[in-house]
Amino acid sequence: MAGYYDKGKLVESLCSIHPKEILIAYGPKKLLVDKYHWHSPTKGIVASYTPTDFDVEDHFGIFRGVDQIESFVQATAASLSMFLICQKHNCAPEDLRDKSVPSFISVGNVNFMAALEKGDTFVILGKITYYKFKQMVCDGRIYRCPQGLDLDDYFKDFNEERLLKYDLSPDFKLISDLYDITGREIDIEYFRAINKK
């Protein structure tokens, strides 16, 4: 069976839920994913986010590069690995709230080509390059979306081949290129112990 049950509902794809239902450790001000548009559990994901006033406050109206990376890791390693863990253990994200912590482990190269302003909807295209022992490494790109585009409709026939090629219409503007973004679900007791050292 692909997916997991949450409150009696089968979640076969992240596209069927709101990000807050799987990124449960992130409070509303820190959640930087609005919606999932395409999901292949072992290959990758397409998700979107639109920066708010809060996101650009005290930063001359620009969504920070560091927040692009955070948004990327939430949409990719954090969401994708939690999905796989829930699927493996046939449990819901809430069942893991007191057991593990999504941890940002490392960042490889990141290149920024352009900026994002408040209200600019962007998509994250994330590819899984490695997954083992609850540690996931992803590469990907962030693109600014054409205004008014229905992203669910645009990505409804998306596939792994198109993901690998970053096959999007030229109306999407490349914002950043990200490599080796690594996250890991860490046992909560272990997490507390290593942070006390």
Partner 1 sequence: MERQEIIDGLIEVLKTVRMIEPEKLVGVTEETDILADLNIPSSEMINIIAKTEKKFNIEFEDDDIDDLDPTVRGIIDLIQRVKERG
The CB-of-56 to partner 1 minimum distance in angstroms stands at: 30
Where are any strands of DSSP class E within 12-164? Answer: 35-40, 44-49, 100-106, 110-112, 122-132, 135-144
Considering only residues 69 to 88 of the shown chain, the ones binding partner 1 according to CB under 8 A are 85, 88
Report the residue number, 134 or 144, with the smaller CB distance to partner 1: 134
The CB-of-181 to partner 1 minimum distance in angstroms stands at: 11
Indicate the DSSP class of residue 190. Answer: H
**Residue 189 lies near partner 1 (rule: CB under 8 A):** yes
User: CA–CA distance from 133 to each of 60, 88, 101, 159, 185 (Å)?
Assistant: 41, 12, 14, 26, 9
3-state secondary structure of 16: helix
Site string for partner 1, 89-108 (x = CB under 8 A): ----------------xx--
Report the residue number, 35 or 134, with the smaller CB distance to partner 1: 134
User: CA–CA distance from 33 to each of 4, 6, 158, 196 (Å)?
Assistant: 21, 20, 19, 30
The window from 23-31, 71-79, 127-135, 139-147 that contacts partner 1 (CB under 8 A) reads 127-135
The window from 8-16, 29-37, 159-167, 179-187 that contacts partner 1 (CB under 8 A) reads 179-187
Footprint of partner 1 on this chain (CB under 8 A)?
85, 88, 105-106, 132-135, 137, 182, 184, 186-187, 189-190
